[in-house]
Structure 1
Amino acid sequence: MMAGKRSLFWVGALSVAAMSASAEPAHWAASWAAPPAPPSLAVPNLPTSFITPSFRNQTIVQVVRLSRGGRALRLRLTNEYGTEPLRIGAARIALVDEAGRVIEQTRRRVTFAGAREARVPAGVPWVSDPVALSVPDRARVQIALYLPDDTGPCTCHATAGATGLASPPGDYTDKPFAPAGTFSARAFVSEVDVVTSAAPHVVVAFGDSITDGYQSSADADRRWPDQLVRRLATRGRAAISMANAGLSGNRILLDGVPALFGQSAVARFDRDVLAVPGVGTVIVLLGINDIGQKRATPVTAAEIIAGYRQLIDRAHAKGLRIVGGTMLPYEGAPYYRVEGDKVRVAVNDWIRSARAFDAVIDFDRAMRDPSRPARLRPELQSGDWLHPNDAGYKVMADAVDAAVLR
């Protein structure tokens, strides 16, 4: 057994060495992301799909859409909100075609310091070894994790906009299975990075449920950051690396209630933006939940602006370009208030005029009803008058001038 482990370690070490010795330079760039948040159990008025899943002696399979390709990739797993170590019994990745079929010749084992298993301590992320695989731009990648022990409520991204599959008991990382269940969270995977030859310039979309793509079509990659990547690719531009750091329910100033809405933006900014490999630009679209969600004293425009300034100063200290997105109209949403909308308008006016951000994307102007500017255009909203539909997310993507991304 020990000899086998040593052999596997040397295989992993040699693959890393081979990459390092390549004639082309190697740069890591984030190509996909889903920020984790604390688990949440059943609470009143919370959709059952938001309840955090757990797994035991099961393989879970998730498919992610990368933005930029490369000649190798690695996984960033997460047990950051776990209270016990997380054991990964096996892990594999494979490319998936547009019909959802695994391309068998691309199936690869994922290792951790050369070992097939990993024990992820409570409270931390865990990065895999590089996996040598030629990955095209906008590739779909299947990630299969075998979880032999009881995981407890997972460290998850609650609103994946995608369907995960859970197996019957056993390790199915290298073969198909009839699902024993499905789930709608991103479980234990928070980032996929790729190796590129050119120095990367990763764009992080940092926001709430509107950036997270809530109410967009499931399993279709119709969030506005996805549609922006697609738009630029179809126009013959070089692919951009996009990491979606949207987190449904997120606020700038306060942690989420319930917990799955995540730590405040000012608290998670270092992890979800500054620590992202290759980050060069961040687009901020936040504040509507600070205005709308209940708190003892309603938030003021000055408080939201102070939160923005924190993000701006910290981004600039790291040499990043930071772009401000104006908040969308929300009249008709369950938490709409006239006084709250006055705050939104005041903050948007500041975003446009203060020149504190390096550039501005006027999502508000692109999405509002010209005859009733406090609300979204009816044909672009999903039914709750807060979140766009697929067509609305496309309008948001089209509102982004590619020049602001560099």
Structure 2
Amino acid sequence: MNKHFRRAVAPLAAAALGLTLLSGTDAAAGPADWTAAWAASPQRASEGFTSNWAETGFSHQSVRQTVRVTESGDRVRIRLSNAYGSSPLHITRATIARAGEGAAVQKGSLRHLSFGGKRSAVIPAHGQAGADAAEPRGGAAGSVTVTLYLAGTTGPATFHAQGFAHSYRAEGDHAADVSGRAFDEHTASWYYLAGVDVEGEGGARDGGGVALFGDSITDGFGSTHGANRRYPDALADRIDRPVINAGIGGNLVLNDSAWYGDRGTARFTRDVLDQPGVTTAVVLEGLNDIGFYEAQKAGYERPTFWPAPKVSAPELIAGYRALIRQAHERGVQVVGATLLPLGGSDHYGAHAARISDEVNTWIRTSGEFDAVVDFDRALADPADPERIAARYDSGDALHPNDAGYARMAEEVAEVL
């Protein structure tokens, strides 16, 4: 790999709105070196495959979310997104704490968060904001719990559909509760929470952060719910660098989707390059671009499979080149990942097989990525290379299981 580069994070919100500017400097503490330790790519409200609260939003309720941070630090800040909101989002109160069991938090660790020195914040429609730095007792490490109290009615919520972990809801203001008893509802999505950054001891390691960019395979579909065994989690266990997950299940490189987020070439800057401290991106995306066409042709009538144009290898390669160009303009190195075997899945067919082979050959041989990781060969069944090996298959011939994600992490760790 070439030498990594560092850069300052761009401002996220206007001071006139009472929101914290996320920059390389904290006015109260002098120069700061923030590192993204957890992230979730925002999506517009939609039904999703499992029930969620995104379309109805929240009204006089508290939402509690626990996330695993992949870097420790003395100070922590959260980032909130109203990217797909049609009206201002009123945050009445927000807290952060060390995670306990279920919806509970560790006693003595809870801290109230402020936004520009105020306990509340208003995030404009299509905007985002960061809380002021906080110092949780014991620092930020392991899993942290963020609770938002939303006294008003939010309308449809900006969210991340596939969290593969419980988020909790309670009626009324329970942001400061240590117990989780009031939080008697849960879903598997994240709401408004887009990032957790750390700063201080351990918060800015040499080499910088790694962002894993992709679709449901990066997002963690097929991994054990609530166990943090997604491929980004497995990588964080193997390398001494912060790792963030910039996957969106169903995402496409070339086309926007009402359910599966903005196209990869459009969201790459927001979800990877604007993340503080990120110096390396691993790109694994394209199976949906070629697979949705096959699924529709085979008679799968899910509305989620639209758009489903017949994508060529040159078109997909042009998308990868756009990602590489965006990254290099910001001094970020790009690892290209070959597409996993998809034989036997609902994404498979003659066209998908041919395009995936052509694309994977280009990824391996073009020299346009700074490094290459070959998931296609690492996870293939030796007896049938078109299919994912049974020991790595979650059961749908498309998504890996926990062992498959661990194998992917091993491959990435070798090239970083």
Q: Provide the TM-score with structure 2 as the length reference.
A: 0.85
- The answer for the alignment partner of 1:78 in structure 2 is 81
What's the CA shift for 1:174? 3.3
Q: What is the CA–CA distance in structure 2 between the aligned matches of 1:332 and 1:179, rounded to whole Å?
A: 41
Matched, 1:374 2:374: no
Matched, 1:188 2:200: no
Q: What is the CA–CA distance in structure 1 between the aligned matches of 2:260 and 2:217, rounded to whole Å?
A: 13
Matched, 1:131 2:138: no
- The answer for the alignment partner of 1:236 in structure 2 is none
Matched, 1:328 2:334: no
Larger deviation, residues 165-174 vs 81-90: 165-174
Alpha carbons 1:93, 1:109 under 8 Å: kept: yes
Q: 2:29 aligns with which of 14, 19, 23?
A: 19
Q: What is the CA–CA distance in structure 2 between the aligned matches of 1:391 and 1:347, rounded to whole Å?
A: 25
SS for the counterpart of 1:116 is: coil
Q: 2:151 aligns with which of 148, 151, 154?
A: 148
What's the CA shift for 1:55? 1.4
Q: How does 1:26-65 map to 2 (within 5 A)?
A: 26-41=32-47, 47-49=49-51, 52-53=54-55, 54-65=57-68
Q: What is the CA–CA distance in structure 1 between the aligned matches of 2:200 and 2:337, rounded to whole Å?
A: 29
Distance change >3 Å, CA 171–CA 136, structure 1 → 2? closer
- The answer for the alignment partner of 1:276 in structure 2 is 275
Alpha carbons 2:75, 2:139 under 8 Å: kept: no
Over residues 117-176 of structure 1, what are the superposed CA-to-partner deviations in whole Å (9 max), with x where a residue is unaligned?
A: 111111111111111236667510000100111122210000001101100233443342
What's the CA shift for 1:297? 4.3
Q: What is the CA–CA distance in structure 1 between the aligned matches of 2:285 and 2:224, rounded to whole Å?
A: 22
Q: What is the CA–CA distance in structure 2 between the aligned matches of 1:210 and 1:159, rounded to whole Å?
A: 11
Over residues 40-70 of structure 1, what are the superposed CA-to-partner deviations in whole Å (9 max), with x where a residue is unaligned?
A: 14xxxx5243673521111111100000011
- The answer for the alignment partner of 2:354 in structure 1 is 342
What's the CA shift for 1:254? 0.4
- The answer for the alignment partner of 2:321 in structure 1 is 309
What's the CA shift for 1:17? 5.6
Aligned residues: 374
Distance change >3 Å, CA 137–CA 68, structure 1 → 2? farther
Q: What is the CA–CA distance in structure 2 between the aligned matches of 1:378 and 1:113, rounded to whole Å?
A: 52
- The answer for the alignment partner of 2:296 in structure 1 is none
Distance change >3 Å, CA 290–CA 67, structure 1 → 2? same
Alpha carbons 2:103, 2:168 under 8 Å: kept: no
Matched, 1:401 2:413: yes
What's the CA shift for 1:215? 1.8
Looking at secondary structure, tell me which structure has more helix per residue. 1
What's the CA shift for 1:18? 5.6
Q: What is the CA–CA distance in structure 2 between the aligned matches of 1:52 and 1:17, rounded to whole Å?
A: 35
Matched, 1:223 2:230: yes
Q: What is the CA–CA distance in structure 2 between the aligned matches of 1:137 and 1:173, rounded to whole Å?
A: 18
SS for the counterpart of 1:170 is: coil
Distance change >3 Å, CA 70–CA 56, structure 1 → 2? same
Over residues 275-310 of structure 1, what are the superposed CA-to-partner deviations in whole Å (9 max), with x where a residue is unaligned?
A: 111110000000000001135641111111110011
Alpha carbons 1:39, 1:153 under 8 Å: kept: yes
Alpha carbons 1:167, 1:179 under 8 Å: kept: yes
Two-structure CA RMSD over aligned residues (Å): 2.0
SS for the counterpart of 2:197 is: strand
Larger deviation, residues 324-333 vs 194-203: 194-203
Identity fraction in percent: 42
Aligned-partner residue type, residue 245 of structure 2? N
SS for the counterpart of 2:282 is: strand
Distance change >3 Å, CA 359–CA 137, structure 1 → 2? farther
Q: 2:363 aligns with which of 335, 348, 351?
A: 351
- The answer for the alignment partner of 2:182 in structure 1 is 178
Distance change >3 Å, CA 278–CA 135, structure 1 → 2? farther
Alpha carbons 1:367, 1:392 under 8 Å: kept: yes
Q: What is the CA–CA distance in structure 2 between the aligned matches of 1:320 and 1:38, rounded to whole Å?
A: 27
What's the CA shift for 1:180? 3.4
Q: What is the CA–CA distance in structure 2 between the aligned matches of 1:296 and 1:273, rounded to whole Å?
A: 25
What's the CA shift for 1:332? 1.5
Q: How does 1:377-392 map to 2 (within 5 A)?
A: 377-392=389-404
Q: What is the CA–CA distance in structure 1 between the aligned matches of 2:283 and 2:196, rounded to whole Å?
A: 21
Alpha carbons 1:208, 1:248 under 8 Å: kept: yes
